[in-house]
Amino acid sequence: MRLESGRAIKMRRLHKFAVACLALTLSGSAAAQFDFLNKAIDAAKSKMGPAGNLLDKAKPVIDSMGIDESKEIEIGNTFAASLLGAKPLLNDPALHRYINTLGRWLAMQTERPDLPWAFGVLDDDGFNAFATPGGNIFVTKGLLARMRSESELAGVLSHEIAHVIRKHYLNAIQTNALAGGTADLIAENVKKGPAEFRSYFAGLFKDVYSKGLDKGDEYEADRIGVVIAARAGFDPYGLPGVLQTLQSQNPRDGGFTLLFETHPTPTDRLDSLSKAMNGRFDSSNGSVGKSFSERSKEFSR
């Protein structure tokens, strides 16, 4: 058996994506586009230092609860279904093709590329993004409208992807449930039939989503999000750019209330991120991506 070099694997991954969707490329010949993405990834990786190891450190706490990947996906789909009952998806197939192409390309850069990743845009003017276990990710129409570049959107999606790969929501449920003294109840419900199992976890999730995750999980998702976006060939400063936009918003503005209530302040997030990035990405040649009007032309065809 011939062993492939890391570079060959990377090239093959990139090629697969380029062929599959003809997206995320700059103008110019196919070879030049290829080279650009490859260089961006190499540059980002060499500058990541300790942050680069974050993706490899995860040891799922949840395993001890007997929740395997198929249950994780089932729990996530249940919650996604109840979320969509309250907030429908935007009726825009081209936009959904686009966000799924972008999102899956980002997810391919992680250690869980094979989850059934699905990305949706909620018909909601507020500014928010959510993830469920198992790989369902939602952003609001209002968030998309405020993105100044594709690399900003890549940063937001990568932050949500990080919550999924690190099982932050599953772990939060475990913590919440344990705090309520219901460890046995969890174990019991994990063993139960699908219907009871689903309704039990949907209830637990509502709690976690309205309260938000631990601050530490949010900071970690920011750090990993930057790494994922950089690996995908995007400007790593996309996510910090979004946090700067948030910094200038009034937390009492209705569209931002939930986000501000469930996350550390944008200033704290930027402080934490700039310590982690520590100039490592300053000479990154990651792309800011294409404009949404160009993308909508590409994906409307």
Binding site for Zn ion (CB under 5 A): 218, 221
Which is closer to Zn ion, CB of 65 or CB of 137?
Answer: 137
Pick the closest to residue 103 from 43, 142, 144, 145 (CA basis). Answer: 144
Rounded (10°) angle between helices 168-179 and 150-165: 50
> Closest approach of Cβ 259 to Zn ion, in Å?
9
Q: At which residue do the structure tokens 């690996």 appear?
A: 231
Please say which residue, 10 or 269, places its beta carbon nearer to Zn ion.
269
Work out how close the CB of 168 gets to Zn ion at its nearest, in angstroms, rounded to a whole number.
8
In this complex, which beta carbon is closest to Zn ion, that of residue 10 or of residue 222? 222
- Specify whether the CB–CB gap between 242 and 152 falls below 8 A: yes
List Cα–Cα distances, 196 to 11, 58, 183, 189, 201, in angstroms.
45, 30, 16, 7, 9
In terms of CB distance, is 75 or 221 closer to Zn ion? 221
The nearest distance, CB 218 to Zn ion, in angstroms, is: 5
- Residue 56 CB, shortest distance to Zn ion, in Å, is 21
In whole angstroms, the minimum distance from the beta carbon of 221 to Zn ion comes to: 5
Q: What is the spatial distance between Cα 236 and Cα 46, in angstroms, rounded to a whole number?
A: 13
| 239-248 core/surface letters (b: 16 or more CB in 10 A; e: else) | bbbbbeebee
Compare residues 177 and 259 and give the one whose CB is closer to Zn ion: 259
Six-digit token string for 295:
């993308």
Alpha-carbon span 131 to 179, nearest angstrom: 23
